[in-house]
Structure 1
């Protein structure tokens, strides 16, 4: 128990707040309905092209905090609690939040663009696009610093990327376009927001 308390006390505050919000939202929805049901999720803010076109733009944001079932949120939050901490340590809480939220919206926009082009509409939700934005920013930072990213952090990054890929192979409903959109958005946001090498902080996690 003490180890668990220490673990949460040593997490970065902005990232931990995002994780807690996601978990609380999932618990509330699980207690009031079925998070695995598309119609239920649509009523509670999931992303859906016809609804967004109809002016419900808030879904680009709210859908990032919704998850289709227990395993969906476990995979995402397990990845985020480590990857987000690395990025927040390097970039700071404000830049981290900008990358996470803006990148997640970017992922949703690409997902909607693909849906519009293919004519295949699906209800989508999840933090994966935002998490891939975090990954994209970390990849840029690693490249910017010529791979000098801290051995422990590089191992965590590789492990979590593998975990996210595994999720994609297990869950047939994964939105690949949102993942790609988040990754690209995060990389571009990294270029815009990361300007200073801060290698002395890499091994603090």
Structure 2
């Protein structure tokens, strides 16, 4: 029998990618995504404005912003490859809620750590949400005995290790948001994901 779940289109994931890309090109046309002040004026994360001015919307808007073409290309490629798997596993609405919670939650944790360590930084990017997607998939694969559609535990572990290694060996990367997103993804996966039960069919005899 054909697996219809495999064929379901991931509309939300494609919509998130489109929103990121459209906003990126809007910012590039009207200014420059490599200019810190310009990015702050258009919604990037900056703790003093969040806490002192009450601009909490930055916790959300910043996950749709990227510093330069390489930043958005890397993030959207991973989201394109992995996001549809989790959307099919969770469903459209749950996936959207999951993605936004991971992104905002990773920003909150990152902001708290930066404040504690007296770091005054501007940040933006979908990485926290994307690491959340990876964490959610890791949980879903684990409860499905190491395989979910075309994904295996080994593949996800390789993605996680290589992504974290790249982050820790590069400059200007918010590793706190990455780790926070990963942990939140596993936790929200535990809350929102339910392993589908096996369908039972009756044999019909002519």
TM-score bucket of the superposed structures, by smaller chain: 0.7 to 0.9
Partner Cα distance (2:56, 2:28) in 1: 24
Alignment-derived partner of residue 190 in structure 2: 191
Structure 1: segments with no counterpart, 5+ residues: 1-8, 201-205
Alignment-derived partner of residue 55 in structure 2: 56
| Larger gyration radius, structure 1 or structure 2 | 2
Residue 81 of structure 1 and its aligned partner are, at CA, apart by 0.7
RMSD over aligned Cα atoms: 2.2
Alignment-derived partner of residue 140 in structure 1: 139
Residue 141 of structure 1 and its aligned partner are, at CA, apart by 1.1
Whether the 8 Å contact between 2:45 and 2:124 is mirrored in structure 1 is yes
**Number of residue-to-residue matches in the alignment:** 191
Partner Cα distance (1:167, 1:23) in 2: 23
Equivalent positions of 1:1-205 (< 5 A) are 12-54=10-52, 55-150=54-149, 152-154=150-152, 157=156, 160-161=159-160, 164-165=163-164, 167-168=166-167, 171-197=170-196
Q: SS state of the match for residue 151, structure 2?
A: helix
More helix by share: 1
Q: What TM-score comes out, normalization by structure 1 length?
A: 0.85
Judging changes above 3 Å, is the alpha-carbon distance between structure 1 residues 24 and 108 closer, same or farther for their aligned structure 2 residues?
Answer: same
Q: Which contiguous aligned blocks of 4+ residues in structure 1 show a shift greater than 6 angstroms?
A: none
Structure 2: segments with no counterpart, 5+ residues: 1-6, 200-206
Residue 181 of structure 1 and its aligned partner are, at CA, apart by 1.2
Q: What TM-score comes out, normalization by structure 2 length?
A: 0.85
Partner Cα distance (2:143, 2:91) in 1: 17
